[in-house]
Structure 1
């Protein structure tokens, strides 16, 4: 469901990262198989990512103090290596593998689409990933952010309202002049509840080609686009 070009009232486009900007599933599959041939990369990627929300919940509940995503990723990694026959990985290899999240590849449309959107809007990250992770990722992948914003800045993970409203405060604009761009309807719903505009991006292969994701439009979103170039078309970039 693509809308024809209409000028958006948003001034700032804030982008979710994991799954929206970068293909974490294929990237993690590649990284673990490069390190140890024969590992089921698909199952490993799903297990590692599967620990993400439970780990964040431990922080949000107060069981753990404020913790960077790099540290949560390492906790999850240490908890799954044995089941994949990786318990003998050296500390150096574990550190290298944990930094795989800094080396995720962007979807094919991302670089060109972001460059187009940047001509009209301020573009920034809004991710639970920490600042170092997001900066390293951007450097490696050539992502042209105007600003890197993270849960680390606000000391709160999405979907805490502090993250969405924090973007508006950083740029000194009303929430309605910020648009969250994401491939996850729950993230977008939380942003809308804070008064942000929302744009859904279809990423049907986020969990791998064998697990196509439902990318049906939600009329509550301001925009719905196949990819970043289609969003740029709709926004006149």
Structure 2
């Protein structure tokens, strides 16, 4: 019996790209600099996977996502020739705490919460995810993060750690995500899987392919559709 749902957050629950581009554009306006902020946002987001790999290889100690994001932000600002004071960089880095939910997210989560325990399961650190929930009105029962387990997704320890903390068997827990690679890793750890299609995550000009209809336990167009199917 399915008892709990764990949600990937960036791209699945919140529209990270539009939120980050909007704040970067305002930052540029305030500093009088003209940069391709959409590309900047994409480069910023793309940098965190290589940074996590540096931690896995032992080149960096365990590092919160906030700090990985800040390292990449400084690199990108320097490459773009943009100078800013440390407090301004800190404030800009916290844009990841202020991401807006997809339009269906709050209503869908509220419905799902009536029947299941719902939690985050993200590489974002706990403070980031908590602040994001406050900002967006996300009705989590609890906030779980890779930070708690000392591993990033897709490491097996994150998925099994979530089940352990919620006191459910792995097959009583479903990972909900818009990213097939995350779901495949969760499935390998024994979790059930729910795919939600977010075609605009990478922007209106980049197509996000759908996996095969039978690859995951549930295939949904959004959280309201997921609630209907569960």
Q: What is the count of residue pairs matched by the alignment?
A: 226
The match for 1:46 among 42, 45, 69 is 42
Q: Is the 8 A contact 1:24 1:105 kept in 2?
A: yes
Alpha-carbon shift at residue 161 of structure 1 (Å): 0.7
Q: Could you say which residue in structure 2 is the equivalent of 1:15?
A: 7
Q: Where in structure 1 are there 5+ consecutive unaligned residues?
A: 1-8
Q: Is the 8 A contact 1:129 1:150 kept in 2?
A: yes
How far, CA to CA, are the matches of 2:211 and 2:170 in structure 1? 26
* Deviations 1:2-59 (CA, angstroms, capped at 9, x unpaired): xxxxxxx210100000000011111110010011133322101111011010000000
Higher relative contact order (CA 8 A, sep 6+): 1
Alpha-carbon shift at residue 168 of structure 1 (Å): 1.0
Show structure 1 runs of 4+ deviating over 3 A.
none
Q: Could you say which residue in structure 1 is the equivalent of 2:171?
A: 176
How far, CA to CA, are the matches of 2:196 and 2:73 in structure 1? 29
Q: Could you say which residue in structure 2 is the equivalent of 1:198?
A: 193
Alpha-carbon shift at residue 167 of structure 1 (Å): 1.1
User: Residues 71-82 of structure 1: matches in 2 within 5 Å?
Assistant: 71-82=67-78
* Deviations 1:155-192 (CA, angstroms, capped at 9, x unpaired): 10001111000111012111000000000000000000
Alpha-carbon shift at residue 82 of structure 1 (Å): 2.6
User: Is 1:70 matched up with 2:66?
Assistant: yes
Q: Where in structure 2 are there 5+ consecutive unaligned residues?
A: none
How far, CA to CA, are the matches of 1:198 and 1:138 in structure 2? 23
